[in-house]
């Protein structure tokens, strides 16, 4: 998922109280984890930043620190609670569960990378469902494609209704996430999603592409997940 997953890291870190709105870091362009220098996407770094700025700038070291401050057990609890690693049960033919490496095989270096959207694989429907939970007040909803099935006599055989699977984060955390992500569109990397007269929130993503098990040079997966209205979301859109 690349940096779109930072939205999940942010929500998890805030809800677990690993960070709060006073969080800030200095980004020199990398973060060292167990002797390994893991780089920010911006060579030279972002310098000193507030919480709002690290999300607006999509700063990798900041999200590494969020993941590490939560720790493996807590972060994994949120990853699973948001629905990653299992099918959403949407009814879409061929839907998979994504790839979440078992916790016992995860090192701190892996954990840091998951924080900014590497070392994990997700499906689009998983990401949309999780982001909805992050911004709708904290409730993971059951996604469905078919509204209803009606037989030839007009009798309703199946009627799907909005159904909550579980609460993932608190309402106050969700409100914080909405506010921060609206600033990403108004002031940060998501400015292209800004629409005059509308309040839009979202997160950009750029993921490395793998071919034959190796990083493909010069190939990327660019994405954006947005929602509107930012203060009371009704729509989510993953591009």
Q: Which residues are catalytic?
A: 3
Instruction: Give all strands of the β-sheet with 235-238 in edge-to-edge order.
Output: 201-211, 214-228, 235-238
The angle subtended at Cα 207 by Cα 206 and Cα 213, nearest 5°, is: 165
* Whether the Cβ atoms of residue 74 and residue 16 lie closer than 8 Å to each other: yes
CB 91 within 8 A of CB 55: no
**Residue carrying structure tokens 């095989």:** 105
**Cα 172 to the chain's mean position, in Å?**
18
d(CA 224, CA 151): 39
Q: What share of the chain is helix, strand, coil (3-state, %, to 5)?
A: 35, 25, 40
Backbone φ, ψ for residue 172 (5° rounding): -70, -35
How far, in Å, CA of 50 to CA of 39, rounded? Answer: 19
Positive/negative CA dihedral, 97, 101, 104, 106: negative
- The span from the CA of 131 to the CA of 225, in Å, is 8
């Amino acid at each position: 998922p690349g940096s779109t997953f930072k939205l999940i890291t942010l929500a998890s870190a805030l809800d677990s109280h690993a960070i709060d709105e006073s969080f800030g870091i200095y980004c020199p362009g990398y973060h060292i984890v167990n002797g390994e220098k893991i780089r920010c996407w911006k060579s030279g770094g972002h310098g000193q930043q507030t919480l709002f700025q690290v999300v607006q700038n999509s700063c990798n070291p900041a999200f590494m620190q969020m993941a590490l401050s939560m720790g493996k057990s807590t972060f994994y609890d949120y990853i699973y609670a948001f629905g990653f690693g299992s099918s959403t049960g949407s009814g879409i033919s061929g839907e998979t569960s994504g790839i979440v490496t078992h916790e016992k095989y995860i090192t701190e270096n892996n954990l840091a990378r998951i924080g900014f959207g590497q070392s994990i694989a997700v499906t689009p429907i998983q990401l949309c469902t999780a982001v909805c939970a992050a911004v709708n007040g904290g409730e993971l909803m059951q996604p469905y494609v078919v509204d209803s099935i009606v037989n030839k006599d007009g009798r309703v055989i199946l009627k799907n209704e909005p159904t909550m699977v579980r609460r993932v984060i608190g309402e106050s955390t969700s409100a914080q996430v909405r506010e921060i992500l609206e600033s990403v569109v108004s002031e940060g990397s998501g400015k292209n999603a800004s629409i005059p007269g509308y309040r839009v929130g979202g997160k950009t993503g750029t993921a490395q592409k793998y071919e034959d098990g190796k990083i493909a040079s010069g190939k990327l997966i660019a994405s954006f997940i947005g929602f509107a209205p930012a203060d009371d979301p009704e729509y989510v859109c993953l591009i």
